[in-house]
């Protein structure tokens, strides 16, 4: 099988590429622009373990000619589309950048798939599409009435584009709504990463609200299990949607305590009001993924956070700037 992984140098992407190679996938290619949203050296380190076993196409999804060229040369059997501009708060500051990358970039990708006969695509969506959903846990059949950030809006648009291309052009698409993924190689701007670095350095962490907000944290190896399950999912509707979560909600206060224990230091708290665009709760109903993708999240937050801390310290000791 010949597979393209967009965003393959990033956090989730690099772990996915490793799993594909371990599983004996015939040919794996990466499309990534190695942008400076965070230190590109981290992404270079991510791919260093397997760079000689894959084909790396360095360029932007927004460049339609580049994307068409990659597809024309690669003639891929399937695409795992993980590349995106991520983050709720930055999307509020720079919505046009998110629209260009996440909407136009996904459009370019689907157009290239259509033109070259690629008939299977896995799309990385997000739990943020649920917005302020009062029904808990969130299920795929829940009506999406109001997204509350440009990032969430672009992911909802991506799902709708996948649906369009499935029904119009016969491309099997599987949209995966990720719930707060964490673990080694996690982006430096995310809570576990930022808190670990600041607590290690003896600096104050920003705590928004009273700490009662809750997230369904999902360890990276569990997420990759779901991605591989989606790649192998060939039955069901031509466009389908699945939640991938850890099935355990953790308060911000409990998360801070878990990181403190893993780091071995107490956090200094800089108290701030709640942030616009943040949802108060994410909680995944993963029964559909369990039934159809054989998805079984196994790693608890108490097990996963120390693994991230160990990786963070290893990278820091190697002189990589973790921001």
Q: Are 48 and 217 in contact (CB under 8 A)?
A: no
Q: What is the pTM of this model?
A: 0.95
Please say if the pLDDT value at position 218 is more than 80.
yes
pLDDT value at residue 282: 87
Q: Pick the residue with more confidence: 323 or 8?
A: 8
User: pLDDT by residue (tens digit) across 286-295?
Assistant: 999 999 999 9
Please say if the pLDDT value at position 276 is more than 80.
no
Please say if the pLDDT value at position 151 is more than 90.
yes
User: pLDDT by residue (tens digit) across 183-210?
Assistant: 999 999 899 999 999 999 999 999 999 9
Average pLDDT over residues 279-287: 89
Q: Which value, in Å, is the radius of gyration of the alpha carbons in the chain?
A: 19
Q: Which domains does the chain have, with CATH numbers?
A: 2-180+219-244 (3.40.50.720)
Active site residues: 151
Q: Are 40 and 187 in contact (CB under 8 A)?
A: no
């Amino acid at each position: 099988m010949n597979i393209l992984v967009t965003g393959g140098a990033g956090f989730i992407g690099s772990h996915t590429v490793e799993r594909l190679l371990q599983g004996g996938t015939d040919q794996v290619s990466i499309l990534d622009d190695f942008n400076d949203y965070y230190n590109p050296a981290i992404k270079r380190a991510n791919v260093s373990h397997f760079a000689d076993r894959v084909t790396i196409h360095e360029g932007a999804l927004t460049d339609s000619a580049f994307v068409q060229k990659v597809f024309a040369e690669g003639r891929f059997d399937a695409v795992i589309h993980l590349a995106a501009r991520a983050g709720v708060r930055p999307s509020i500051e720079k919505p046009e950048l998110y629209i260009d990358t996440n909407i136009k970039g996904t459009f370019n990708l689907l157009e290239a798939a259509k033109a070259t006969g690629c008939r299977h695509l896995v799309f990385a969506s997000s739990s943020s599409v649920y917005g302020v959903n009062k029904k808990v846990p969130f299920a795929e059949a829940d009506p999406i009435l109001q997204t509350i950030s440009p990032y969430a809006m672009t992911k909802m648009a991506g799902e709708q584009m996948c649906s369009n291309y499935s029904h119009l052009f016969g491309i099997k698409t599987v949209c995966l709504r990720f719930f707060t993924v964490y673990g080694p190689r996690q982006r430096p701007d995310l809570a576990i990463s930022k808190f670990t670095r600041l607590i290690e350095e003896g600096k104050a962490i920003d705590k928004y609200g009273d700490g009662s907000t809750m997230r369904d944290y999902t360890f990276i190896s569990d997420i990759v299990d779901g991605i591989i399950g989606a790649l192998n999912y060939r039955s069901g509707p031509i466009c389908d949607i699945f939640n991938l979560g850890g099935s355990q909600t953790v308060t911000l206060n409990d998360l801070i305590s878990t990181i403190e224990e893993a780091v071995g230091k107490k956090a200094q708290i800089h108290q701030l009001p709640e942030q616009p665009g943040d949802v108060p709760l994410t909680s995944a109903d993963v029964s559909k993924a369990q039934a159809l993708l054989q998805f079984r999240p196994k790693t608890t937050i108490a097990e996963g956070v120390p693994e991230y801390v160990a990786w963070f310290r290893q990278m820091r000791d190697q002189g990589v700037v973790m921001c």
